[in-house]
Amino acid sequence: MASLPGRIALVTGASRGIGAATARALARAGAHVILTARTSAGLEEVEDSIHQAGGTATIAPLDLTDGQGLRKLAEAVAPRWPAVDVIVHSAGMLGSLTPVPHLDEKEFAKVIATNLVASQRLIAAFDPLLRNSTAGRLIALTTGVAASPRAYWAGYAATKAAMENLLLSYAAEVAAITPIRVALVSPGATRTKMRAHAYPGEDPATVKPPEVVGDAIVALLERDFETGERVRVQDTVGA
């Protein structure tokens, strides 16, 4: 039986990898999924797969670094769905793995815009719709290096650490006055394009597929978690 029937869920970075897998898992659980990413072709492929499996979805091609575009998306969603019950913020940018003195200014600015600034704009745009839900949930993907600094990962790690602080501050602000709850999910080693870029010599068959993370996120949404919860997805290898 569907565990999330009638829920409205927005997934960023939904055209591939963990975002796509999470969107499919949410649709299987009965949610209507709003799919956002920059690439229309990828979104259409995910939408088709959801419809073929009996689920429902709507695509909304969008560059998250476009603040005006985010506001317009929220304005377009509101008349059709007065509340958004779930946001899964999967979109992110790795950037180059390089020493701190060698971070390229333009690329680093783009990583900041994607991982941090866009997160704030996403919250700002959809906060009213989350508040309209009887059980609003905001889940964001993070990384272990946000809390455990690693050489050459500074650009990605620093922006993810800042994003964590941003989301947990929001969680604290709304905890006493709304039903909104926030959680952070660290997917661990997962078979994604970002992982392949970070570890080019790794055999992808040795790490778990993104569907494991998507299922873990749905399992989190199925229970009454405390705001601020952190989840690390077990590094099991699947086919």
| 3 domain-assigned | no
> Which domain does 89 fall in, by range?
8-232
Among residues 152, 156, 170, 199, the one annotated as catalytic is 156
The predicted pLDDT at position 235 comes to 76
CATH code, domain carrying 124 = 3.40.50.720
Q: Can you read off the two tokens belonging to residue 126?
A: 């959809």
210-221 and 17-28 helices, crossing angle to 10°: 50
| Residue 170 annotated in active site | no
| 1 domain-assigned | no
| 55 domain-assigned | yes
| 2 domain-assigned | no
Average confidence (pLDDT) over 161-188 = 98
Number of domains in the chain: 1
To the question of pTM greater than 0.85 for the whole model, the response is yes
| 223 domain-assigned | yes
* Angle CA 154–155–157, to nearest 5: 60
The predicted pLDDT at position 147 comes to 94
| 75 domain-assigned | yes
Helix (H) or strand (E) holding 175: none
| 126 domain-assigned | yes
Given a cut of 80, is residue 236 above it in pLDDT? no
Q: Which 3-state string (H, E, C) describes 95-110? A: CCCCCHHHCCHHHHHH
| 237 domain-assigned | no
